[in-house]
Amino acid sequence: MHPSAVSMPLLFLCFLDTFTSVVTTPTHFTGDVTINCGSIGTSTASNGREWIGDEKPEFSSLLQIEGSSTTSTVIHKLISADPVPHKTARISFSHFSYTFQLSPGQKILRLHFYPAPYKGFKRFKDLFTVEAGVFTLISNFSASLTAAALGVKSFSKEFCLSIEEHQTLDITFSPASSQVQDSTYAFINGIEIISVPMHLSYFKGGDLGAQVVGQKSLVYIDNSTALELIHRLNVKRDSVSSGDDFDDMLGMWATVPAQNGNEFNNLTWKRSVDVGFRYLVRIHFCELGLRMAETGGMTFKILINQMIVDTNTDIVKERDDNGSLWYRDYMVSMKGRKQEDRRDLLICLQSSDEFMDGHRLLKGFEIFKLSNPDNSLASPKALPPARDSPSWIIHNFVSGLGNRNAIATASITVIAVINIIVYKLRIIWEATFTEEENRPSARAERVCRRFSLAEIKSATRNFSDAFVIGKGGFGKVYKGHIDNGRETVAIKRLKSNSKQGKHEFLTEIETLSELRHINLVSLIGYCSERREMILVYEFMACGTLADHLYKLAKDNNNCSSITWKQRLNICIGAARGLDYLHTGHRVIHRDVKTSNILLDENFVAKVSDFGLAKPEDRSKLQSHISTKIKGTFGYFDPYYFSTHKLTRKSDTYAFGVVLLELLSGRPAMDPTLGEDECCLTKWAQNKINKGEIERIIASSLIEEISLDSLKVFLGVAERCLHDEPKERPTMAEVVLQLELALEKQQSRKFVAPEVIRSVANDVHSSNDETIPSVSTEQANVASTDMHTVGPPPVGGTTGEMENTDPPAGRKDGRKPKAYESLQRWARQVAFWNRVKPSKKEELVSKLVSEICEAEIKLSKFDLERIAAATNQFSSSNKIGEGGFGSVYKAMLPTGQTVAVKMFSFSTQGIDEFKHEILLVSNLQHRNIVKLLGYSIHGEGGILLYEFMENGSLDTFIFDEVQCHQLQWSLRFKIILGVARGVLYLHEGSRLRIIHRDLKPNSILLDTEMNPRISGFGIARTLGDGQSDTETRIIGTL
């Protein structure tokens, strides 16, 4: 036969074999995964289980290792530990990660640690964080110290996660940052990933959900939660497995020691757990014990934390007919102070009957910790409680040494080494504990970015003095660059040894995370790592107002003086910011001064430094807060200083001092001057009383200032500085008067000094007059029949929000993601009706993905949770309906009542949904309805708002009975609140929003009849500098 005749079939067979191998290559691990980290090939453990090495694995596409890491073998011989998977480890001084391609479903993730000496790595120097996807599993964790505390050589930590379709499992190991290079490291010996059968699911909480301990409600644990196994106990008298799949799958049950017969009637198990977390307790019942309970042969009750959660009657009533394996789930919250760190979780079984020997009612129980809202399972303390007390350890240590001198000398040496180790560990522990103490609330953490210390050092070149742009008693302020230099920020580093600084640090984060206003500085994030207290703000290119008034000139820096018109605009902006604090969030700043008023590149004023801010107590009717004196000399309100009673008018007084600084160009306190001149307010008021006003006006302003503008300005300044708080204007009134002063300045005239002197008499004569305000006598409310008409369908017109310029104050001109999504959406709406039906689903999917990509700081709810909260969207829960869909009243598992607004993803529905979620999520005002969360599913979207007990305004004013409840004082209160909300939309929010559908049924009323503006489905924004725009008519007739 010719050679070519043979080669062709052989070539075909080779090709066929290659093709087959490619086709049969799996896309994910199909069964359980066991990885022997740091080894090659397959190894068999003593229990017969096979482990795969992570070096050159068989299917490299299913397991990938990224980052800088190495493999290492234990230096010394293993002691009481199975060689597999404890003999080798993957270890590194820098972070590394594993990526697994897994089948979807619930997975048990088990991490094995053997903290032994490894070549090139010092023992007890392991300190690291482990993350799985978005979840932080452990943080600042030392396997060496944990093993020592537990009294074991090796151990494992077990977690439970849910893997979605086409989702990878990424496990990242990150050593803690250290000032010494190659000091701390991370390592792992073995990784197990076990699939959980659906009938044993932890996330669904059983078919009925998990019962909340102390309440009658149920809670459903969804797939967005991670769990950590705290304890799994077999309470049967024998330790022999029952042979069912539950025991076979987990295989890691602790056993309870035998107890005396007289103790069987009251069994209690105690486990120490972290405070501040929720815990899932799953109790497994024995089949024989349940049958005895059904026949009335056994009565019992189960208690968790001394509260009854079930009795034999309850168990029998809800018994699953087909279950030889039966369990009940309970949810318990472990509340406590941070100083407590840990508390005991108690599980008690009480009965009046004696349990049969060897056949108890309970088979076992499991305790799982649930991830918190920050997706973290990390303990406040990285180390578990020690197995025994220190005195017990010392006693056994000393007794084992004997009395020989050599041993005594050795013991002293060992003790000295231990003291050194303890000292080093104490530094690490204190840094860790300080970080937890300085940790803000969960809501603030969602809104604010948490920076690592390494990021901050990189941004400031390791806190180089060349980057310092300010300093004070609090510490230093640095100019920095984050995100690879794309954004310039101001980094405020507080002194770490200041106890007062800790309080101010948290106050600043908590306060600014609640605020959104164009005249308040924005907090980007914070860092609390290794005793540091660092705040990261948006960068203000023009520094502080104090810099431009007197600081730069004093330092002989070349700077041009700011004009009178600029000064008026600056104080108007600052006054608006303070008015937003007072009326929008009931917050008193307490430290208003020119150095706390920052200026961006356009000289837009932004109030900053909220470390001393104090929220008003809404539960009390009194208008003041009794508190210690805090603030800055020269700005103290005399009433607050003498009575310790803090009011909003204390800010007003301090702002009056700022107005005098703007006019005079000198600081509030100048110790270089004489006693009569060092205090600005005392000196200025003395000059005004003497008719020497020209003496207090900065020389650069004399030829520029308008006579009428000066008169109005001095009038409001004097009223702000009135000794009696009640006689001072509100900040809203201050804004009106300063705007009037600016208007008067537009017709600029030269003012001779002799004319300025005459202003003194005008100021005093008008000082007793009341600043113009709304006259209740002139107000007239007309009720008309109103027919609500939904917005017309979107046709082939231009988009509703085609102009979406970034808000004022953004330095780099880049638009935030929310704005970019709005702009893309506007272009798409124009051709929506021209899209074929087959393409609409694709377009909806694209729009939904844009919402997900936008930087929205909102909680995301799953549909099942919302359905349960609304009783499956029952008609009895429906409280409203519109063109967009229905509104339901719902009760969340946390006990919070919310309004659930449904959107059908029709053309109009998806438009309004996107409008509301992108706009309302960026608003924070007392008179704007608050958006709490959202959900997106195939057929539409859902928005969760705070629930308004009194419904909408139209139900009162258009109802013949309820309209009599609205007395004029209450009506005026509602009008004022709505006006404040609209003012915030137009001028205060960074978006500059026109509502376009303001009407009584879009004004909601809370329990105290405070108005909240809602219904932003057809709102639109104005660009920077834009006062109007052309668009088609849309709204309500």
pLDDT at residue 714 greater than cutoff 90:
yes
Query: How confident is residue 57, by pLDDT bands cut at 50, 70 and 90?
Result: confident
pLDDT of residue 771: 42
Question: Do β-strands 300-304 and 342-351 pair in parallel, antiparallel, or remain unpaired?
Answer: antiparallel
Q: Residue 606, annotated ligand binder?
A: no
Domains, the chain: 33-196 (2.60.120.430), 229-370 (2.60.120), 442-538 (3.30.200.20), 559-766 (1.10.510.10), 817-1021 (1.10.510.10)
pLDDT of residue 127: 92
Q: What is the pLDDT of residues 375-400, one digit of tens each?
A: 999 987 655 554 444 443 444 444 44
Sheet holding 266-274, edge to edge: 266-274, 342-351, 300-304, 307-311
Q: What is the dihedral of CA 688, 694, 695, 697, to 10 degrees?
A: 100
Tokens 């920050």 locate to 374
Query: How confident is residue 624, by pLDDT bands cut at 50, 70 and 90?
Result: low
Two tokens, residue 625 = 């807060």
pLDDT at residue 22 greater than cutoff 90:
no
pLDDT at residue 762 greater than cutoff 70:
no
Q: Quote the radius of gyration of the chain (alpha carbons, Å).
A: 35
Q: What is the pLDDT of residues 62-96, one digit of tens each?
A: 899 999 999 998 887 666 567 889 899 999 999 99
pLDDT at residue 767 greater than cutoff 70:
no
Least trusted range by pLDDT, from 171-180, 819-828, 909-918: 819-828
Query: How confident is residue 648, by pLDDT bands cut at 50, 70 and 90?
Result: very high
pLDDT of residue 258: 41
Q: Residue 338, annotated ligand binder?
A: no
pLDDT at residue 641 greater than cutoff 90:
no
Query: How confident is residue 297, by pLDDT bands cut at 50, 70 and 90?
Result: low
Least trusted range by pLDDT, from 163-177, 262-276, 767-781: 767-781
Could you tell me the CA-to-CA distances from 440 to 435, 482, 506, 855 in Å, in that order? 10, 22, 6, 20
pLDDT of residue 361: 74
pLDDT at residue 745 greater than cutoff 70:
yes
Spell out a b/e string for 497-517, using b for 16 or more CB atoms within 10 Å of the CB, else e.
eeeebbebbbbbbbbbbebbb
pLDDT of residue 432: 54
Q: What is the pLDDT of residues 412-445, one digit of tens each?
A: 778 878 877 776 666 556 555 455 555 667 666 7
Higher pLDDT, 32 or 652: 652
What share of the chain in percent tops pLDDT 90? 26
Q: Which of 54, 591, 651, 997 is catalytic?
A: 591
Q: What is the pLDDT of residues 343-374, one digit of tens each?
A: 899 999 887 665 544 446 788 899 999 999 88
pLDDT of residue 431: 53
Q: What is the pLDDT of residues 963-1011, one digit of tens each?
A: 777 888 888 888 888 888 888 888 777 677 888 788 888 889 988 888 9
Question: Do β-strands 186-188 and 168-175 pair in parallel, antiparallel, or remain unpaired?
Answer: unpaired
pLDDT at residue 729 greater than cutoff 90:
yes
Query: How confident is residue 263, by pLDDT bands cut at 50, 70 and 90?
Result: very low
pLDDT of residue 790: 33
Query: How confident is residue 256, by pLDDT bands cut at 50, 70 and 90?
Result: low
* Active-site residue, 591 included: yes
When pLDDT is averaged across residues 761-781 and rounded to a whole number, the result is 43
pLDDT of residue 840: 54
Could you tell me the CA-to-CA distances from 325 to 267, 294, 810 in Å, in that order? 22, 16, 61
Length of the chain: 1037
Q: CA angle 954-957-958, nearest 5°?
A: 75
- Considering the chain, what is the average pLDDT of its residues? 77
pLDDT at residue 835 greater than cutoff 60:
no
